Amino acid sequence: MKISKEEAAQFLRDHERFLLVGHIHADGDDIGSILALHHALVHLGKSADMVIADGVPERFRFLAGTEEIQTSIPEGADYDALVFTDLSNIERGGDFAFPKVPSLCIDHHISNTEYTDYLWLRADYAATAELLAELFLDGDFPLDKEARDALYMGIGTDSGFFKFSNTSAHTLLMASRLVEGGAEPAFISNHLDVTTKVSMEVYRRVLDTLHYACGGKIGLAAMDETSMAMDGENSDYYVSIPRRVEGVEIGVLFKADGPEVTRLSLRSREYANVSELAAEFGGGGHVRAAGCTIRLPMAEAEKAFLAAAEKYL
């Protein structure tokens, strides 16, 4: 059932022992959202365990609280509420038997499958952290510097630090109010901007694969199994390579998930609906950023993708 911000706030106030669930291949928005929710609930005297099935990518571990995020649901714990942040479908939460307690999802994916008892969805917001910032700030929830930094990172990463088309006046307003209360943009950016030597090497490897289709309107690049082993957890970073080339409307990054399965990250610039394109392969996401999995080796996955993609141009 879809609910309002006020009802979502009431859900958080009405329960005491939370399990907070983020998604696999966690991004900055998911990490920022789950951390901020954890900080806010703990400040209200509640307990809030956090779980992300495949853990926290190294680049986000500078944030306070990430060390408390677990990769499995603690055994014997007694929860009275379940909250999913930034998850469009429950499969993204991992292969868990979730406790049978009232559940809330806070999300901004238009493809959300409404798998929880309650859903507060704003598909017009750039980030789940943008929803949470509004909920906390308007609802007078306690918001310390750590929570504000976490939310600022979530909004920043999902909006390309206020460059993507999902950046609205509201996105900027939420960022502004977070900074007004203590979030530190330079602290976040300085940590996220640092590139490892391994990442530079993978960048070179991905650049080597860059090629074009459909008269240059589709830019394609790939991370083979070696690249994925080197820096697969930061694959989001490399999808910007095909997308940023002049004339490219759809940028796609093919990621080897073993020899037989290929995962795709899709981005578009002005008009192509990559959420619908991803849905053709059972995936989803946003109009300008989406993903899917094709159960084929990479070369065949590319053919299948191109056959479907052309009509979106």
> Which residues contact Mn ion by CB under 5 A?
29, 86, 128, 158
The residue (of 159 and 262) whose beta carbon lies closer to Mn ion is 159
The residue (of 149 and 158) whose beta carbon lies closer to Mn ion is 158
Longest dimension (CA), the chain: 58
Q: C-beta of 43: minimal distance to Mn ion in Å?
A: 23
Q: What angle do CA 154, 159, 165 make, to 5 degrees?
A: 155
Q: C-beta of 34: minimal distance to Mn ion in Å?
A: 11
The residue (of 79 and 283) whose beta carbon lies closer to Mn ion is 283
The residue (of 106 and 183) whose beta carbon lies closer to Mn ion is 106
Q: C-beta of 214: minimal distance to Mn ion in Å?
A: 28
Residue closest to Mn ion, measured at CB: 29
The residue (of 34 and 223) whose beta carbon lies closer to Mn ion is 34
The residue (of 8 and 256) whose beta carbon lies closer to Mn ion is 8
Question: Crossing angle for the helix pair 145-158 and 185-193, nearest 10 degrees?
Answer: 50
Residue with tokens 């530190």: 184
Q: C-beta of 108: minimal distance to Mn ion in Å?
A: 6
Q: C-beta of 29: minimal distance to Mn ion in Å?
A: 3
Q: C-beta of 200: minimal distance to Mn ion in Å?
A: 26
Q: C-beta of 28: minimal distance to Mn ion in Å?
A: 8
Burial zone of 288 (CB within 10 Å; 0-12 exposed, 13-18 middle, 19+ buried): buried
Q: C-beta of 229: minimal distance to Mn ion in Å?
A: 26
The residue (of 29 and 149) whose beta carbon lies closer to Mn ion is 29
The residue (of 85 and 209) whose beta carbon lies closer to Mn ion is 85
SS3 per residue for the chain: CECCHHHHHHHHHHCCEEEEECCCCCCHHHHHHHHHHHHHHHHCCCEEEEECCCCCCHHHCCCCCHHHEECCCCCCCCCCEEEEECCCCHHHHCCCCCCCCCEEEEECCCCCCCCCCEEEECCCCCCHHHHHHHHHHHCCCCCCHHHHHHHHHHHHHHCCCCCCCCCCHHHHHHHHHHHHCCCCHHHHHHHHHCCCHHHHHHHHHHHHHCEEEHHHCEEEEEECHHHHHHHHHHHHHHCHHHHCCCCCCEEEEEEECCCCCEEEEEEECCCCCHHHHHHCCCCEECCCEEEEEECCCHHHHHHHHHHHHHHHC
